[in-house]
Amino acid sequence: MVYDREGQIIFYAPVTSRSAHDPLPFGTWRITDVVRNPTYNYNPDLFWDADQADAKVKIAAGPNNPVGVVWMGINVPHYGIHGTPDPGEIGHSQSHGCVRMTNWDATRVADLVNDGTPVVFEE
């Protein structure tokens, strides 16, 4: 949910977040950067289920990039709010800890926030 300054909900979207291996960091954080059309830097050291023989790679920007068309970093290393190339998985699958939403919803949220916007993750 995105709230305006008066506390009214101005946008709502379904998301997929966390897993047993990658819990969502509950608490109050803040947006540190909004990157449109991000390059994805795959690092197998950051994923519990990755083949350690995999090489680190950069995946070009675009709608099929693992973080979709927008990345909103928060002040927790390796966590963010982002789009996905698989919108049918939203609300049905687990995440590697980040908050995923459809590319179109992530784009809308990115239009509503900026650096410093508070983010609250709660159960």
More confident residue, 84 or 56: 84
Domain spans of the chain?
Answer: 2-121
The pTM score is 0.82
Q: Domain 2-121 adopts which CATH fold?
A: L,D-transpeptidase catalytic domain-like (2.40.440)
User: Model confidence over 39-54: pLDDT tens digits?
Assistant: 877 666 666 555 666 6
Report residue 66's pLDDT band, with 50, 70 and 90 as the boundaries.
confident
Enumerate the β-bridge partners of residue 11. 2
The enclosing H or E element of 32 equals strand 27-36
Which stretches of the chain are DSSP H helices? 103-112
The whole-angstrom separation of Cα 63 and Cα 103 is 7
Q: What mean pLDDT, rounded, does the chain reach?
A: 84
Q: Percent of the chain scored above 90 by pLDDT?
A: 46
